[in-house]
Structure 1
């Protein structure tokens, strides 16, 4: 039997395949983003309902809750939570064993959707805790979770000349001065631009946190500096100085997003760097150091 040359293609590929594939991927990403947002807000609502007996208007005191990551990457509550004063309590102490058990069971049905597929949403709202029985544990910030918009809002229109200096924070602890454009907000969180000295301080703080809590829980900032002793074009011998600012997302290194694990930040025309951008959920602080979400100077 001889092989005959093909006289026509065995099959045809639709001309719009590339556009359709990218549209499908964009839709999948958007769906995961929306799912993550909805489940994070639902987790905050579940804590409220457990502590108030499903009375949304009743007062309650909870600012963070512990979630543990299972073998399938989904999160589930342990019943441990924190009050505004920093006190640590359990649902059992607050509402009794039966009500706590039922509440945790119901909450788990929602937090199960907080997994690898929605990690980009929930992980930035969490602080890594010591492992619990060999499983990764996180402290979910309920205040930031409840403030999250259910739908990804469109980027706000930019107004000319809008940069203002303000104090910003991303973890309820470390505060830095930065320049912020009030028109450039996402869910009320700002995109601060830091000078190099402040970037060095952020780098030191993130590396210390990574050493304490683990690199899988903290994106680290690094400032690489060097110089050139060669004479400048104007004839002066003053050495040139260079700085390269890197952000390393360690949790990406072992997965499909490893090529995005290291980001080299480019300074703006004023030599400032947008550390973390919107993804770190930076928020502005007022004169009493209270969060301003959204920021209204």
Structure 2
């Protein structure tokens, strides 16, 4: 018996345009939710350290600058109970509050730091310094002050097209040492950190500095910037690359090399928000968030 075609489609679907818009929105919402999760859990971790050291007295004084976190087999981080004071002195929760309190604190804190994993790496990794491996596992020192400074509010909606604010010239820094001139949009901030745009001469300085640091401290601890030049059909071209070396051996190796497109006026947003650039005032003190002078 011959099969007769159905007189109607098996099921109805939204239009391709509507479906594409829904996919884009869902992916954007998921990305923003992941960013928010990473930020909030970094702040909660900083709060948990304070609570351990103050006995849950938020107004009490305490001294903690960095917290050791170790990456587990599933890629999430867990605290070891080791931390450093603002003067750089290494301590443990056990030494400070006793074995029982320390054990409970590490257990409770692990429930929050478990969300600091590969999915939220873009939120917590810029706040960390890589440490020597602990028992064969990657280890990090989380900067607690920078974690505490993150906003726990939902990201502000994007500024409508045609309402861009004026770029201002300012000195910026990302490592408390190297300072560079840049243009920033005061309205384009995340958690108080800015997205600086550098001219090519400054990009070359950043490239030299990052490559120097990689030679000194290892390529796994710092992204490097590279400026390449060449000619095609007698036209000279410049290409700016950023290499995230720590991604080369993992699942994100295809994203390890980024080509930075120049702006209309030939500037480059090196590092973007991921590097946690902050603006400096006239006395070279950090301005987080950045508020330009009137």
- TM-score, length basis structure 2: 0.84
Determine the C-alpha separation between the residues in 1 that align with 2:248 and 2:10: 39
Asked if 1:266 corresponds to 2:261, the answer is yes
Query: What are the ranges of 5 or more consecutive residues in structure 2 without an aligned counterpart?
Result: none
In the alignment, which residue of structure 2 is the partner of 1:234? none
Asked if structure 2 preserves the Cα contact closer than 8 Å seen for 1:169 and 1:284, the reply is: yes
Corresponding residue number in structure 2 for 1:140: 142
SS at match of 1:29: helix
Distance in structure 1 (CA, Å) of the matches to 2:79 and 2:114: 10
- In structure 2, what is the Cα distance between the partners aligned to 1:19 and 1:160? 24
Structure 1 segment 85-164 matched on structure 2, within 5 A:
85-154=87-156, 162-164=166-168
Deviation at 1:227, TM superposition (A): 5.4
Q: Distance in 2 between matches of 1:4 and 1:42?
A: 63
- Alignment partner, residue 275 of structure 1: 270
CA distance in 2 between partners of 1:58 and 1:114 (Å): 27
Give a deviation string over 1:53-110, Cα, whole Å, max 9, x none.
1110011122221111000001011122222233332222322333222211211111
Q: Which residue of 2 aligns with 1:80?
A: 82
How far residue 52 of structure 1 moved from its aligned partner, in angstroms, is: 1.0
- Secondary structure in 1 matching 2:138: strand
Whether the aligned pair in 1 keeps the contact of 2:165 and 2:186 (CA below 8 Å) is no
Number of residues of Structure 1 aligned to a counterpart in Structure 2: 287
CA offsets per residue over residues 232-290 of structure 1, 9 Å max, x none?
A: xxxxxxxx754211112344445665544332222234432211122221001234433
Distance 1:11 1:260, change over 3 A: farther
- The equivalent residue for 1:236 is none
**Within the alignment, does 1:167 sit opposite 2:162 as a pair?**
no
Gapped regions of structure 1 (runs ≥ 5): 231-239
Give 1:216 deviation, angstroms: 4.5
Q: If the length of structure 1 is used for normalisation, what is the TM-score? A: 0.84
- Distance change in 2, residues 1:289/1:260 (3 Å): same
Contact 1:128–1:213, Cα closer than 8 Å, also in 2: no
Q: Is the Cα–Cα contact under 8 Å of residues 32 and 155 in structure 2 kept in the other structure?
A: no
- Is 2:165–2:187's contact at 8 Å kept on the other side of the alignment? no
The reply to whether residue 294 of structure 1 matches residue 289 of structure 2 is yes
Q: Quote the RMSD (CA, aligned, Å).
A: 2.9
